[in-house]
Chain A
Amino acid sequence: MNGDLGWMAMTALLAIPAGAALLLAGLPSYRLGAGLNAGAALISLLASMILFGVRPGANVYLRVDDFNTYLIILNNLVSFTTSAFSASYITHELETGRLTPKHLRFYHAMYQALVFAMNLALLANNIGLLWVAIELATLVTVLMVGIYRTREALEAAWKYFILGSLGIALALFGTILVYLAAQPVMGQGLPAMAWDQLLTHAHAFDPALLNLAFIFLLLGYGTKAGLVPLHAWLPDAHAEGPTPISAVLSGLLLNVALYAVLRFKILMNANPSALAPGPLMAGLGLLSLLFAGFMFYRRGDIKRLFAYSSIEHMGIMTFAFGMGGPLANFAGLLHMTMHSLTKSAIFFAVGYISQVKGTQRISTIHGLTATHPLLGWGFVAGVMAIAGMPPFGVFMSEFLVVSSTFAREPWLALPLVIGLLLGFGTLLWRLHGIAFGESQGANMPGPAPVTALPMMTHLILVLAAGFWLPGPLVAWFQSVAALLG
């Protein structure tokens, strides 16, 4: 009985976005489209909640375990709030003529297709299916990034397409190599691509082949996660696409890519003679953090600034997971959640800010707290949170990363703290200019207060997490952290 309910929930998580995408593609009214988009996302969110209680058994294609349940719920929560934000955001885009109703039909259909692809990637047990889902997500987001059809948007979409496909191609090569490593031990056919069965046999795989596979997978999926030096697509794609897409890209898709890397990291850990994946990941993570820290200073575009901040935070997470151990993994998981919620809240605010100011240039945006108090203070809270100020949840996860590093590898803590401080300083400096001072330039009336609801929901969750994490959640994160090794 319970298993049936779980199966229904899992099917719903795939069928609802897929069905909604088809329906939205044929729906001419954009208002109805926006409503249906949010409605479908809400139903998916409810279905994902069911997985918290009851869980279907695994088969060779799909699987639900502790690790992906939490990401699926996070994924559907943020895609629901973003769809609510998107509904008010696009009305303004229509008024200014940047988008037409025809574009919006395409946009809504693609939004649901993206949700489908991300849910599929998270639910996949088959490593081939995982790859297909991430490829689908890449193609969909390429189309979304280019939707404004300006020169900048096309350049960004093209760059994202080329680099994203390259990453995807490397990841496929790695996937084939994993199969080749598994095939002599497990025989031919589907079981040799099912993640849970790979895990039970991983100790017998040829370590050399597995090592090579992991390098390809780390580079391939790492490109999608925006790790330096494969990050070049990320700032452009975030800055030039519609803001709801920036929120979903930063908050969710980067997580999904990192999730794929982590799944393979678990496989590597299960083989005692294979190379330890930790130092590689920690190195890439630290490099991303420091690079983003230095790149922050000269950003003139507000969305680009926060895109670099996403690189920074993906770096912190990858570093934490690379360090490994119960505490660092716990911190990494917490940071994944906190970053998703905070960064998407910031992008909601930034979306409205660029609409009321009519520009994304930081140098022309001043004094927001005076002219648009709700928006301005919401933005201030979001930036304080992402910069790692207490009492927000990001502070807690960053603190855990730093303290676990100090305890085990004090020398690595030094560049880590430098990277964190660089990001912190720049963000607060930029925040001062944007939120305070004399207001100048165009000042369109702000959006209705009710539209701030998605942003506020996220910020309240992040704030609450800073004070108190529910006991079951902590226990859950601990069990996932143990799984990650």
Chain B
Amino acid sequence: MHSLEFDIAHFLAGGMVVISLLLLYQHRLYALLKVFALHSLTLALAVGWQAYIQEAHHLYVTAGIALIFKAIVIPAALYRIVRRLGIHRTLDVVGGVGRDMLAGAALVALAILVMLPVTAGTDAVAREDLAFALAVVLLGLLLMVNRHNAVSLVIGFMSLENGLVLAAAGARGMPLAVEISVAFSVLIALIVIGIFLFRIRERFDSVDMQAMDAFRGERRR
């Protein structure tokens, strides 16, 4: 019989996997951004809960960073970018939603099948968290592979990073240096992305990656 502490950790980490699946079938950019904000909010709660049950106070910082930057600042900034660029139209999904969801379910199963036997020695919370974290990472990858739009690529990448933070929080007593750097990298990434989106827009009149592929260096002139 598991304790309530474990059940809540399990619920929050599992919630992130479900929200990752939700990300897969969003047809509109605004909706995608909102679901991503929810993803980050759940991450903040999950990390905060880990901080409480592990009595690891530095994890509250990580949870705070996730809440402020990933759940509020970054989605709001991307929202503004999308509005200013006027690209909130329907997204194209490569191969269709049904196939995506099946692939997503397969990836979740894969993550659990890989992680649970391997981590048999570690404690139950870390085990489940790690399995769910790998599932979130894989779903983030799937989202990145299946979209042509630069904004959805970025969302895919950041949901993947959320999975990494979940894994880091689940590893008991992992030193603070790593978590700060993860948050830091997201910040820098945002700057890079912001600059990129504007520059790409400036050059291509579109943030569709297919338009860009035509300009592969090899084929020029």
Contacts and interface: CB of A to CB of B under 8 A. Distances in A.
B181 A304 contact: no
Interface string A158-178: 100110011011001101110
B199 A149 contact: yes
A212 B204 contact: no
B12 interface: no
A158 B196 contact: yes
Nearest to B127: A180
Contact of B217 (A156, A169, A192): A156
Contacts of A304: 217-218
B199 A240 contact: no
Contacts of B112: none
A128 B177 contact: yes
B200 A158 contact: yes
Contacts of B171: 176, 179-180, 183
Nearest to A299: B218
A301 interface: yes
A471 B137 CA distance: 49
A97 interface: no
The bracket for how many chain B residues form the interface is 35 or more
Contacts of B150: 158
Contacts of A169: 137, 157, 160-161, 164
B168 A151 contact: no
Interface string B115-151: 1011111100010001001100100010010000010
Given A151-B215, A152-B220, A155-B217, A161 B192 contact: yes
B118 A208 contact: yes
Secondary structure type dominating chain B contacts: helix
A209 B119 contact: yes
A177 B131 CA distance: 11
Contact of B175 (A128, A211, A301): A128
Nearest to A140: B188
Contacts of B161: 169
Interface in A181-209: 183-184, 187-190, 192-193, 206, 208-209
Interface residues of A, number: 52
Contact of A166 (B130, B144, B185, B204): B144
A52 B160 CA distance: 41
A86 to B, nearest CB: 22
Contacts of B144: 162, 166
B212 A155 contact: yes
A286 B192 CA distance: 35
A57 to B, nearest CB: 20
B138 to A, nearest CB: 10
A239 interface: yes
Interface stretch (A33-41, A131-139, A394-402, A421-429): A131-139
B203 interface: yes
Given A128-B178, A183-B171, A189-B175, A154 B221 contact: no
Contacts of B32: none
Contact of A180 (B130, B196, B204): B130
B203 A176 contact: no
Contacts of B118: 208-209, 211-212
B178 to A, nearest CB: 4
A126 interface: yes
A169 B215 CA distance: 27
Nearest to A206: B121
B24 interface: no
A248 to B, nearest CB: 19
Interface in B38-67: none
Interface in A116-132: 126, 128-129, 131-132
Contact of B199 (A154, A173, A212): A154
A12 B82 CA distance: 44
Contacts of A155: 212-213, 215-217
Contacts of B189: 139, 165
A236 B220 CA distance: 12
A361 interface: yes
A184 B188 CA distance: 34
A126 B182 contact: no
B204 to A, nearest CB: 7
Nearest to A152: B217
B196 A239 contact: no
Nearest to B193: A161
Interface in B206-220: 212-213, 215-218, 220
Interface in B79-122: 114-115, 117-122
A326 B192 CA distance: 44
A177 B171 CA distance: 8
Interface in B164-194: 164, 167-168, 171-175, 177-178, 181-182, 185, 188-189, 192
A396 B26 CA distance: 57
Given A151-B203, A152-B220, A301-B218, A166 B141 contact: yes
B200 A154 contact: yes
Nearest to A161: B192
Contact of A132 (B119, B130, B177): B177
A135 B181 contact: yes
B61 to A, nearest CB: 16
Contacts of A239: 217
Interface of A: 126, 128-129, 131-132, 135, 139, 142-143, 146, 149, 151-152, 154-158, 161-162, 165-166, 168-169, 172-173, 175-177, 179-180, 183-184, 187-190, 192-193, 206, 208-209, 211-212, 235-236, 239-240, 300-301, 304, 361
17 contacts: A128-B177, A128-B181, A139-B188, A146-B199, A152-B220, A154-B199, A155-B217, A166-B160, A173-B164, A176-B168, A183-B171, A184-B122, A209-B118, A212-B118, A236-B216, A239-B217, A304-B217
Chain A to chain B: the 9 pairs with minimum beta-carbon distance, closest first: A188-B173, A128-B178, A151-B215, A152-B217, A132-B181, A208-B118, A176-B167, A155-B212, A206-B121
Given A154-B212, A157-B196, A176-B167, 16 more contacts: A152-B215, A158-B196, A162-B153, A166-B141, A172-B178, A176-B178, A179-B171, A183-B172, A184-B121, A189-B175, A193-B174, A206-B121, A208-B120, A209-B122, A212-B115, A235-B217
